[in-house]
Amino acid sequence: MPIDDLPRLGLGTYSDADREQWTDTVETALDVGYRHVDTAQVYENERYVGEGIAASDVDRDDLFLATKTVHIDLPPEPSGVPDAIDGCLDRLGVDYVDLLYVHWPSGLYDAEAVLPAFDDAVDDGRIRNVGLSNFTPELLDEAREVLDAPVAAHQVELHPLLQQDELVEYAQRHDHWLVAYSPLAQGEVVDVPVLREIADKHDATPAQVSLAWLSSKDNVAAIPKASSRDHLRENLAALDLELDDEDVARIEAIDREQRFVDPDHAPWNR
Ligand code: NAP
């Protein structure tokens, strides 16, 4: 699927328990209408995600499939990146992915050593687009210098409690996608009073308000994780929720900056 058609609401698939569930959950998600699935080598579920895709009725060309490699724990050195890319495709059971992200610019990450393997994989068709995740503006600048391929997407934590204005503006200026991870603040959005009030006004839920706010921004997409058919449907239906200017202003006035994913090795902690 072309990058311009990236579905603004995708399925996140990280959970550190019961990885086998993703076969059923991905199949259910595709059944209810999701066409963007996000996984990663470190989630240790690519095999199950791939089985869910294979079990569904959706054609591969109608699906936007994203995964990630290069993380503090893997692979052991930059020369291992080409094999790591092949490993992702093998576990997913596909010939190509629509988007491959550098998962974290930490550990082995060195732009000059890692990114040429991503360009090679674009050239030979194993990956359609290059993405970056958890980068700072300075690291994005460096990656854009080193890469031949355009940066198609940057994936970061983004939700009403962490609004990331600088990275949103960067994505709009350079016209790449900003993909919001933990877009429900790992479930915390349901307890935010402003979001509850806006939800009540629209006969919606706080989760839907958060996702509608994100997906209405230029260049922004979101990948909530959900396990049940009800949550999957509820989140996808957020695309039909239209917030008005007053709602948006109230969300943007939320005075709280809270990261839920903040490891010591994150570039903003160095
Ligand atoms: P999230 O999507 O913000 O929140 C997931 C939590 O919200 C789960 O407990 C889920 O419960 C619950 N939930 C889902 N829909 C709901 C609804 N409609 N109402 C109330 N609760 C709801 O958090 P996340 O899993 O951290 O982030 C999403 C995805 O982003 C991950 O799965 C992963 O793919 C990606 N991610 C990427 C990075 C990175 O470094 N690039 C880091 C973190 C996450 P149920 O499961 O019970 O539905």
Query: Where are the chain's structural domains?
Result: 3-269
Mean pLDDT of 110-118: 95
Q: Can you tell me which residue has the tokens 């806006």?
A: 198
Contact predicate 154/140, CB 8 Å: yes
User: pTM (2 decimals)?
Assistant: 0.98
Q: Which residue has the higher pLDDT, 208 or 106?
A: 208
pLDDT 10s digits, 64-90: 999 999 998 776 677 899 999 999 999
CA of 12 to the centre of ligand 1 (A): 6
Residue 51: how many CB atoms within 10 A of its CB?
20
Residue 77: how many CB atoms within 10 A of its CB?
10
Pocket of ligand 1 (CB under 6 A): 12-14, 38, 103, 133-134, 155, 181-187, 190, 205, 207, 223-228, 231, 234-235, 261
Distance CA 149, CA 175 (A): 14
What per-residue confidence (pLDDT) applies to 75? 66
CATH of 3-269, one of 3.40.50.10860, 3.40.50.970, 3.10.450.50, 3.20.20.100: 3.20.20.100
CA proximity to 225, closest of 215, 214, 235, 216: 235
CA of 253 to the centre of ligand 1 (A): 23
Q: Which residue has the higher pLDDT, 58 or 107?
A: 58
User: In 3-state terms, the chain is what percent helix, strand and coil (to 5)?
Assistant: 45, 15, 35
